[in-house]
Amino acid sequence: MADIATFDAQAVTADVAEGIEKIQNASTLEELKALKSRYAGADSAMTKASKAIGGLPKDQKKDAGKLMGKLRADFGRAFGAKEAEVKQAAEKARLVAETVDMTQPVRRHPLGARHPLPKLLEDVEDFFVSMGWQIADGPEVETEWYDFDALNFGPDHPARQMQDTFYVKGNQAKDAAGFVGSNMVMRTQTSSDQVRALLTRGVPLYIASPGRVFRTDELDATHTPVFHQCEALAVDKHLTMANLKGVLDKLAVAMFGPEAKTRLRPSYFPFTEPSAELDLWFPDKKGGAGWLEWGGCGMVNPNVLKSAGIDPDVYTGFAFGVGMERTLLLRHDINDMHDLVEGDVRFSEQFVMGE
Amino acid sequence: MPMIDIDWLKDHVEVPEGLTYEQLAKDLVRVGLEEEEIHQSQVTGPIVVGYVVDATPEPQKNGKTINWCHVDVGDEYNDVDENGNKVPRGIVCGAPNMAAGEKVVVTLPGAVLPGDFRIEPRKTYGHISDGMCASERELGLGDSHNGIILLREYGFSKEEYEALKPGDDAMELLHMNNPVLEINITPDRGYAFSYRGVAREYHHSTGAKYIDPVIGLNEKAPAEPKGIDGQTEHDMDVLIEDNNPIHGVVGCDRYYGRIVRGFNPAAPTPNWMRRRLIRAGMRSISLAVDVTNYVMLDLGQPLHAYDLNKIEGPVVVRRANEGEELTTLDEKNHKLSPEDLLITDSPNGEHGSRILGLAGVMGGLYGEVTSETTDLFIEAAHFDQVSIARSARRHKTPSEASRRFERGVDTQLQPAAVEKAVELLTRYGAGEGSRTPVDVNNTKRPADIRFKVSEVARVAGLDTDTNTISDILTDIGCNVGGGGNGEFSVAPPTWRPDLTEPCDLVEEVARLVGYDEIPVTVPAVPVTGVTGLTLEQQRQRWIANTLAQYGLVETLSYPFVGDADYKAFAIDAEAIKPVSVEIANPLAGDRPFLRRSLLPTLARTVQRNIRRGLMDVSLYEIGHVFLWDPEAPAIPALPGGVKPTDEQLAALDAGLPEQPQHVAAILTGKAENSGWLGETRDVDWSDAVEAVMRVSDRLGAKLQLKQPAAEDVPATWHPGRFAEVVLPDGTKVGTVGEFHPHVNEALGFPEHSAAFELNLSALLPALNDKPVQARPISTFPPVRQDLAFTVPAEVTAQQLSDAIRAAAGDSLESIELFDVFTGDQVGEGAKSLAFAVTFRSPDKTLESSDSEAIRKAIVEKAAELGAQLRA
């Protein structure tokens, strides 16, 4: 083609038609880009023809302009349509290429888990909090006074010898019977928190105190030397054993479902009088619903109230303690105490966040 | 704990025909006697009476002589010969006492004896032995294995013996097929350590007719004769000389004794008594000893029988002197304490010089009844509960007697118990009881209890009418007086020393009315003080949940540690033991101490998981540690039932070790799960630090790390990968880092295993209790800049970021370390720290001149640390 462009309507129409045809046969964006440059770029017949319009006689300019407008529009439409088509196809191919097996297991980050026992303590705390009670605690290495004497276990009380107590070694103190020691024990019961709470919080008092306790039992399928109890203590005017039964039934339902209930059997604890063993009606018991031992309870012995300087003629109270391990074993059908105490991650992982 | 035999129980209370042990257990538990176990028979039959038709001794090569016997075991079990006739069975018996004409106990094929010993026909010594003649031991009836049971010697009367026919069920005869109920007796019910007491409780539970055997026996028992001139003629002079009473209580307040003469020491124990003793778990020893044991089980009064001819009056009940010793019946030697109460006699006129026994606990070797004893002196005493309990505890010799005395024995039981023993010794051993007992009796009637009837409603919540209350108290043995003004005067029975307070009587009424009758009412709780969980309680839960969400698994471990743990953790055992709580009676002798850190016990849990083939084990635990203070003051012994003074209460707590609550974690293995996604990196110090920072952020605690110089890092930790966790004010609240490679190796953990531990008792109270005060959110655009500094190697990231923070002022929105490197590019002794810093003004759009000014301030501040901005 000559440098000085001449306007050749036929040639430019043919060239654009050729371009449109090639566009329609194109299949990639690269091809399209090259065709656009070739047929609509600076050196294309279309561009040159457009520039050449300026050199045409005036009367031909209008028709030439009209022609070029049409050619440009035809080319643009064809290009746009094809580009959209190619893009869509490319995207589709990419999505196909990116297809994965979504069922491949993905757990990059370890899940982690709560141990069910501390979580159970939280559940029990929540039960009491929902009734308006407070949550208390006390030391695990405790003075014999709080663990025994204040609870009406005198130094020569036979029950004191029956507690399978871990004694803290020491020779700095003498107990009331003259035996040399430390006057400290690993607390044998969360009841040791009773008089602490009465002394520090006063009456009326409604507290629950979950925690760890210790007895010299070897670990086996049903015993562990380190276990957990939840103590509940209420001291107020006008409390009776009927109130004790009311709270126990509610707790049983909270822990074991709407059919659960409790039963009391006469028993003996130095720190309660009357005293009772607490049985639980467990609807899901293996081999059929039935009664199971769950804890101990009773009306606070006047001597315990006196240990805290509270007048037993004015105030009465009730207390109970339930074994948390036993609650868990029952609730989750755990057959062996070892599983609860050994810390095997496979055990805790079943409970995830403790449920 | 006591065994209850229905056959024996029937002696005192009417029992319905066909009462099962299961039903008996239910009846007793209703009034508070709990079932321990129903012991089922260990034996299954057929076990029958056999008559030895002939016994032919056959000497064997091994030196033994066996008897080839034919034993008639009755038509049902006898052999059948070729002609269809019943003939005695052939049985080989090696026992020396086998003889023709004896009636014996034959275990037949199909029988199973204790220890799963199955009886089958077997070929032995050239014969087919078609059953076995049994000894006591083989049947689980006692220790005797000197020979087979000869029923002739088994305490049957002549008529009873003659009535025994071959083929009679020997299991029934010897009560081997009956179960027996073992019950638990709570410490307040000493009287239930007897058939007398259990029968009364059965009556309380069921209403069955009960007759207290003691009433009739006490009527029959002779009283100490009173001479006209006040002089008494009695069997023995007895003096109670207690120069060291405990709590002012004389150790012995009653001593009743009576002589039995002309006793036949060879007389056998009757079969029924032997059977009952064996079923109660006791051995049959001799008639005299068996009778004392039998009466104790039956009535609850421990008795002691002396050989009268070996003791010389007066009998003196006194405390031991310093330095005295005693060898008890079980042949153990005891150094006696001045608190031990003794029974002594006075040989050669030396008053109280010879020790006969530790009173109420165990007799001594001297003075015991032997196989030659014909004259006995029977002692029934009443001792102070505390004195007996202490002696039994001090000498570690709990006995059937001490168990009863320390729980309290009836003070009016002694003549009745001796009367019962004399009756039995007379009837079965031809003895003759004296009518002139000695009875030193200083017992006091129990004090009356003033009992407001309204207490039953006030404490038990029971609406029981006054007459019912009176009836119940009378039925348990009380004398009930008064009542007109709603107040009774109640004299408790002498066998119930546990009844001293009105609340004790409330329990009696409530348990006999039945706890099931008490209504059920949920108490309305008055709203006082703070309701709900405290912030500290809530925060502890957050920590537990945060760590679980971070991917750690919560566990609990026992708090006991010992030398092996100290060694693995490179802890100086000799330094840590004096500041550790030590258990006097640990379960495991090698772990007698309580942990001062959670990590050693948590590490054992990690090890257990690794040993079980689990990988990537990362655990945490929340629990207490125990810090012994060797200088802590002694904890006083204070009485219960009295509120201590403020000083005394302070002294109790002052002596207790500190027991802060900690949280700790150990991280091992891969930081993320590996698998088809590809290998991931191993856990190291940074994972532990991140865990700490998550906890910190969750609590808003703004915890910081302070890295000590390598030489100051404890030996447990990697000297270059350890930091103290501190509060913004510098208070130390924890540690974090990688374990020293030696520690990881000792524990069997992967290299670079890391850990942290925080003291929650220090951390949580230091946190702000105020609600978060929110900052306004700026909507002006941010300006982001990357600032890379070259700093001397010893400058920490914390120091440099603190400097940037200080220089940037209020417009600093965030600062993040995004690159750290060392090497040739920065040169020896230096490192590069690059921070992405975002500025944003609360009240305007930052111009480039503003950000330039901030940048300049940062560079100047950083220069103080020797940091230079890299181009």
Q: Report d(CA A169, CA B729) in Å as an integer.
A: 38
Distances (CA, A) of B181 to B178, B185, B254, B295, B868: 10, 13, 33, 19, 88
Q: Report d(CA B550, CA B756) in Å as an integer.
A: 14
Cβ neighbours, 10 Å, residue B413: 24
DSSP one-letter string for B770-805: SPP-PPPPP-SPPEEEEEEEEEETTS-HHHHHHHHH
Q: Report d(CA B108, CA B88) in Å as an integer.
A: 12
CB contact under 8 Å between A158 and B672, yes or no, is no
Of A109, A155, A242, the CB nearest to B551: A109
Q: Measured between CB atoms, does B646 come within 8 Å of chain A?
A: no
Q: Report d(CA B664, CA B600) in Å as an integer.
A: 10
- Give me the CATH number covering residue B839: 3.30.70.380
Instruction: Identify the CA nearest to B701 among candidates B758, B741, B645, B753.
Output: B758
Phi and psi at B238, nearest 5°, equal -130, 130
Q: Measured between CB atoms, does B532 come within 8 Å of chain A?
A: yes
Position B777 in a domain = no
Please say whether the beta carbons of B745 and B714 come within 8 A.
Answer: no
CB contact under 8 Å between B609 and A302, yes or no, is no
pLDDT value for B249: 92
Assign A244 to helix, strand or coil: helix
Q: Measured between CB atoms, does B553 come within 8 Å of chain A?
A: yes
Residue B643 distance to chain A (closest CA, Å): 4
pLDDT value for B143: 65
Residues 432-471 of B with CB under 8 A from A: 457-462
B498 is in an annotated binding site: yes
Residue of A nearest to B639 (CA): A149
Q: Report d(CA B816, CA B791) in Å as an integer.
A: 17
Q: Is B618 in the same domain as B476?
A: no
Of A106, A250, A344, the CB nearest to B609: A344
pTM, entire model: 0.84
Q: Report d(CA B718, CA B754) in Å as an integer.
A: 9
Where exactly are the structural domains of chain A? 9-97, 116-349
Chain B interface, mutation test: which of A107, A122, A124, A145, most B Cβ atoms within 10 Å? A145
Residues 677-706 of B with CB under 8 A from A: 677, 680
CB contact under 8 Å between A247 and B523, yes or no, is yes
Largest CA-CA distance found in chain B, in angstroms, rounded: 131
For the record, the structure tokens of A158 come out as: 């036979």
Number of H helices, E strands in chain A: 13, 11
Position B530 in a domain = no
Contacts of B23 (CB under 8 A, 6+ apart): none
CB contact under 8 Å between B507 and A266, yes or no, is yes
Instruction: Identify the CA nearest to B343 among candidates B330, B327, B362, B323.
Output: B362
Instruction: Identify the CA nearest to A213 among candidates A245, A243, A191, A242.
Output: A191
Instruction: Mark B47-79 as b/e (b = at least 16 C-beta within 10 Å).
Output: bbbbbbeebeeeeeeeeeebbbbbbbbbeebbe
Assign B213 to helix, strand or coil: helix
B523 contacts in chain A (CB < 8 Å): 206, 234, 236, 239, 243, 246-247
Q: Is B468 in the same domain as B488?
A: yes
Sign (positive or negative) of CA dihedral B170, B172, B173, B178: positive
pLDDT value for B334: 94
A152 contacts in chain B (CB < 8 Å): 640-641
pLDDT value for B219: 95
Q: Is B548 in the same domain as B685?
A: yes
pLDDT value for B85: 83
Identity of the amino acid at A312: P
Cβ neighbours, 10 Å, residue A111: 14
Cβ neighbours, 10 Å, residue B640: 25
Q: Is B471 in the same domain as B416?
A: no
For the record, the structure tokens of A305 come out as: 């109230």
Identity of the amino acid at B794: E
Q: Is B554 in the same domain as B505?
A: no
For the record, the structure tokens of A249 come out as: 């039934």
Chain A interface, mutation test: which of B35, B246, B504, B555, most A Cβ atoms within 10 Å? B555
Q: Is B8 in the same domain as B52?
A: no
Of A146, A249, A301, the CB nearest to B520: A249
Please say whether the beta carbons of A43 and A15 come within 8 A.
Answer: no
Classify B348 in phi/psi space as left (phi over 0), alpha (psi -120 to 50) or beta. left
Cβ neighbours, 10 Å, residue B311: 20
- Give me the CATH number covering residue B9: 3.30.56.10
By 3-state DSSP, what share of chain B in percent is helix, strand and coil, each rounded to 5?
30, 25, 45
pLDDT value for A3: 46
The residues of chain B scoring below 50 in pLDDT are: none
Q: Measured between CB atoms, does B665 come within 8 Å of chain A?
A: no
- Of B710, B734, B766, which residue is a domain's last? B766
Q: Is B853 in the same domain as B788?
A: yes
For the record, the structure tokens of B540 come out as: 């502890």
pLDDT value for B229: 63
pLDDT value for A355: 61
Q: What is the DSSP pairing of strand B325-327 with strand B252-261?
A: unpaired
Residue with tokens 């089958």: B120
Q: Measured between CB atoms, does B675 come within 8 Å of chain A?
A: yes
Phi and psi at B451, nearest 5°, equal -125, 110
Mean pLDDT (whole number) for A26-43? 91
Residue with tokens 């909090």: A129
Q: Measured between CB atoms, does B165 come within 8 Å of chain A?
A: no
Instruction: Identify the CA nearest to B252 among candidates B260, B263, B241.
Output: B241
CB contact under 8 Å between B507 and A274, yes or no, is yes
Q: Is B53 in the same domain as B36?
A: no
Q: Report d(CA A328, CA A116) in Å as an integer.
A: 8
- Whole domain around residue B561: which residue ranges? 535-637+646-766
Q: Is B60 in the same domain as B132?
A: yes
CB pairs under 8 A between A and B: 305
DSSP A284: T
Q: Measured between CB atoms, does B663 come within 8 Å of chain A?
A: no
What's the domain count of chain B?
Answer: 6
Of B586, B614, B641, the CB nearest to A307: B641
Q: Measured between CB atoms, does B709 come within 8 Å of chain A?
A: no
Q: Is B304 in the same domain as B434?
A: yes
Alpha helices in B376-478 (DSSP H): 385-394, 400-407, 414-429, 455, 466-475
Residue with tokens 């042949």: B331
Please say whether the beta carbons of B261 and B373 come within 8 A.
Answer: no
What share of chain A has pLDDT > 90, as a percent? 64
Q: Measured between CB atoms, does B123 come within 8 Å of chain A?
A: no
Q: Is B384 in the same domain as B256?
A: yes
- Which contacts of B118-124 are long-range, i.e. CB under 8 A and separated by 24 or more positions? B124/B92
Q: Is B159 in the same domain as B196?
A: no
Q: Measured between CB atoms, does B89 come within 8 Å of chain A?
A: no
Position B618 in a domain = yes
**What does the pLDDT look like over A48-93, one tens digit per residue?**
888 888 888 888 888 888 988 999 999 999 999 999 999 999 899 9
Q: What CATH homologous superfamily does A116-349 map to?
A: Bira Bifunctional Protein; Domain 2 (3.30.930.10)
B641 contacts in chain A (CB < 8 Å): 152, 303, 306-307
B530 contacts in chain A (CB < 8 Å): 134
Looking at the DSSP bridge assignments, the partners of residue B423 are none
Q: Report d(CA B310, CA A12) in Å as an integer.
A: 149
DSSP one-letter string for B113-177: ETTTEE---EEETTEEE-SEEPPHHHHTS-S--SS--BGGGTT--HHHHHH--TT-BHHHHTTTT
Looking at the DSSP bridge assignments, the partners of residue A180 are A174
pLDDT value for A108: 82
Q: Report d(CA B67, CA B69) in Å as an integer.
A: 6
- Of B189, B211, B233, which residue is a domain's last? B211
Q: Report d(CA B504, CA B771) in Å as an integer.
A: 51
pLDDT value for B24: 96
pLDDT value for A1: 43
B82 is in an annotated binding site: no
Distances (CA, A) of B281 to A112, B291, B424: 53, 15, 20
Residue of B nearest to A224 (CA): B558
Peptide bond into A204 cis (omega under 30): yes
- Give me the CATH number covering residue B323: 3.50.40.10
**What does the pLDDT look like over B292-341, one tens digit per residue?**
999 999 999 999 999 999 999 899 999 999 999 999 988 999 999 999 99
Please say whether the beta carbons of A276 and A296 come within 8 A.
Answer: yes
- Of B421, B441, B461, which residue is a domain's last? B441
Q: Report d(CA B51, CA B161) in Å as an integer.
A: 12
